[in-house]
C-alpha cells in the first residue's frame, strides 16, 4: 500500500518511520514534533491517517477540524495476502461476505489492472469479526481467513496450499469509516495548510 507514496516521494527529502506527535505553526510553515523528541520544519502538511489520529494532531492548531475528526468513527480490519501455485477453481474474482462471517471481502489480485505474477488473493475480515478479534495472533487470523476462503470456494480449492506460507495478517485499526462526521473535508486553507 505504500508503493505509490514511495514512488511519488522519490525526489523529495522524506524521513520514513518517524511518528509525528504534535503539529505547531512556525512562521508561514509548520514544525513537526517527532516521537524521538526532535523537530522538523516543513512548508506544508498533508494528513492521510485515521480520523482519531488526525484529531490528536490537529487539536491545538485547528480545533474545528479536530472536533470534526473526533466525530468520525472508524472500524478495524484484518487483511491477509495468500499466493498459490495455480489458479484457484472459481470464476469469481471478488465477493463480499456478511458482517457476522470472518471473511468480509476477498479478491483475486490478478483481476486488478496490470497485475501479473502468481495466483494471489487479498482476504479482508468483516468489520464485526475484525473488532471481535482485534488482538488475536496474526497467524491465527490468517488461518481463519484462509479456512473461510476454502469454505466459500469448496473442497476442490481446499486441497490447495499457499505457495508461500501465510506469515500472518495485517491489522489496521481504523481503515473503515463507520460514522462519518457529516461534513466533507474541504482542506485547511483557513489555517494555512494549503
Structure confidence at residue 8 (pLDDT): 80
Structure confidence at residue 2 (pLDDT): 62
Structure confidence at residue 186 (pLDDT): 47
Q: Measured in whole angstroms, how far is the alpha carbon of residue 182 from the centre of its chain?
A: 22
Q: Which domains does the chain have, with CATH numbers?
A: 13-72+178-191 (3.50.50.60), 74-177 (3.90.660.10)
Q: Measured in whole angstroms, how far is the alpha carbon of residue 29 from the centre of its chain?
A: 29
- What phi and psi values does residue 111 have, to the nearest 5 degrees? -80, -10
For the chain (194 residues), the mean pLDDT of every run of 10, in chain order, is: 72 83 91 94 85 88 88 84 85 85 91 81 90 90 90 70 56 55 50 46
Structure confidence at residue 185 (pLDDT): 53
3-state DSSP assignment of residue 74: strand
Structure confidence at residue 72 (pLDDT): 80
Rounded-to-10 torsion of CA 38, 44, 48, 53: 50
CA–CA separation, 58 vs 56, rounded Å?
Answer: 6
CA–CA separation, 162 vs 123, rounded Å?
Answer: 13
For the entire predicted model, the pTM comes to: 0.65
Amino acid at each position: 500500500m505504500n508503493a505509490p507514496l514511495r514512488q511519488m516521494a522519490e525526489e523529495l527529502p522524506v524521513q520514513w518511520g518517524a511518528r509525528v506527535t504534535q503539529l505547531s505553526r512556525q512562521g508561514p510553515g509548520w514544525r513537526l514534533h517527532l516521537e524521538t523528541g526532535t523537530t522538523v520544519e516543513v512548508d506544508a502538511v498533508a494528513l492521510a491517517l485515521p480520523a482519531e489520529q488526525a484529531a490528536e494532531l490537529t487539536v491545538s492548531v485547528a480545533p474545528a477540524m479536530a472536533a470534526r475528526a473526533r466525530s468520525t468513527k472508524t472500524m478495524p480490519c484484518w487483511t491477509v495476502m495468500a499466493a498459490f501455485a495455480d489458479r484457484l477453481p472459481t470464476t469469481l474474482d471478488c465477493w463480499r461476505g456478511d458482517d457476522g462471517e470472518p471473511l468480509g471481502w476477498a479478491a483475486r489480485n490478478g483481476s486488478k489492472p496490470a497485475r501479473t505474477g502468481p495466483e494471489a488473493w487479498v482476504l479482508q475480515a468483516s468489520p464485526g469479526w475484525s473488532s471481535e478479534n482485534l488482538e488475536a495472533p496474526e497467524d491465527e487470523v490468517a488461518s481463519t481467513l484462509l479456512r473461510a476462503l476454502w469454505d466459500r470456494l469448496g473442497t476442490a480449492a481446499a486441497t490447495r496450499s499457499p505457495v508461500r506460507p501465510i506469515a500472518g495478517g495485517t491489522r489496521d485499526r481504523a481503515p473503515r469509516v463507520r460514522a462519518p462526521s457529516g461534513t466533507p473535508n474541504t482542506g485547511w486553507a483557513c489555517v494555512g495548510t494549503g
